[in-house]
Homo-oligomer: A and B are copies of this chain.
């Protein structure tokens, strides 16, 4: 085995216990394929005995040629019954998976309180279940639930439980910190001791209730664990499971272990973002390694040092995990941030020419009005490209009307009417929506889609409004930040006005312009129609 660590992904099983996470069978198939490309060794698909969604998933996934081992999840047999007649165990075998994980109790308190059976019967449940799976030729993984709490309360019994699974032929003994309350030094001590007591290879399964799931996993690996169970983006019940997006790069780049290939590691950021889109969960910008801000620099001193040498403020090269450096523009930084941003875009800029000075003036003026570009990369990019004559107009607004109505007891209606001009042609379009910004978005997209069908390939994914000065909140200026996504990447735009509709309109127009012009990498002098082929994927 050496320094290879086996990665066991449970995004599709434990990950779906996270609040707000609900995956269809189709979603699960898509995620399984992505996980396979990432190179994880095991993909836990779900519990084939528990619900129709998981049954459908196991059916459909049979047709895929996965390199990873698909595993099914279940628990040890019911008390006072036979493994051969346990419907849950039988369903696992019927699903045809090469490997299965069974969870069993290792904390005496749980045997008494939750299972309400004897310590002896729990040992038999474990032995019988693993012996059964092994007779069926299935690779068998034991998830020892609450192992660390159990070990602290009754070490002899907790160890007896593991030995029972090992004796029955379990291929892996996985120690679970189910409640997420154990500290790294405790994990290290207990795993070390288990590694010396057992001959079967050990795995680790941690939860993030103390914000220590990653550290606990690493501590277990240092103590001898050779399988890591976790989820993409750390999805999971309560505070989540151990986050594989942080564990894999740390093991591989900093601890001399091998998990996946270098190329696969470079797909980590893309994989994390793709799965967050499928799961419809907003990805925190600050997420380590793969977040949008993971290598973003804001402080002026930091930025000027980064320009001299990236490793002054970066612990790894972002490209190793498929992420990239970003320079944020804000009041805390200065001109050097803008210049490096422009250079990143391939624009010919330097501190001394007039064009640069004009751009700096314009950005300073906009910031003074309340714009904030640090959270609105796309709007900044449009500004910079415009200054370099690299942009063309995709449409011209002639007029816009919005009507919002409410009568006593009813909901509010919103209707928008836009009149726009595209290449000399005037389009007059109306739409309604469940709110004014939605109605505007609907009307504008309807007006533009005949010219730019690719407008349907992306959508708005987040929307924030903030009052800038607070003299009188409803008369004050507001800043709207919008996030948009095409499932591959996200971009952010900004609008400022004393009118929330107008600020939203600005951010919306920037979002659409950015997607249609900049993301397509089309020369700005092309006709918009020529972009369809590239954007319609």
Contact = CB atoms under 8 A, between A and B. Distances in A.
Interface in A22-57: 22, 24, 26, 50-51
A198 interface: no
A446 interface: no
Interface string A206-241: 001111101110110010000000000010111110
Nearest to A467: B463
Contacts of A292: 19
B475 A470 contact: no
A92 B287 CA distance: 34
Given A280-B464, A435-B499, A501-B412, A288 B208 contact: yes
A246 interface: yes
Interface string A498-528: 1111101100100000000000000000000
A237 B298 contact: yes
A470 B280 contact: yes
A120 interface: no
A110 B434 CA distance: 54
Interface centre among A179, A209, A212, A330 (most CB of B within 10 A): A209
A464 B26 CA distance: 20
Nearest to A16: B332
B239 A287 contact: yes
Contacts of A460: 472-474
A342 B373 CA distance: 44
A296 interface: yes
A294 interface: yes
Contacts of A255: 183
B280 A471 contact: yes
Contacts of A296: 19, 237-238
Contacts of A438: 474-475, 498-499
A17 B332 contact: yes
A315 interface: yes
A4 interface: no
A111 to B, nearest CB: 11
A404 B501 contact: yes
A474 B183 contact: no
A405 B400 contact: yes
Contacts of A414: 499, 501
A184 B26 contact: no
A505 B406 CA distance: 11
A133 interface: no
Interface centre among A18, A20, A481 (most CB of B within 10 A): A20
Contact of A113 (B309, B397, B505): B309
A284 interface: yes
Contact of A473 (B304, B315, B463): B463
A2 interface: no
B293 A239 contact: yes
Contacts of A483: 473
Contacts of A18: 286, 293, 298
Given A214-B210, A214-B212, A286-B239, A407 B399 contact: yes
B179 A313 contact: yes
A90 interface: no
Contacts of A75: 301
B375 A19 contact: yes
A201 interface: no
Given A212-B214, A238-B286, A238-B293, 4 more contacts: A17-B299, A237-B299, A435-B501, A436-B436
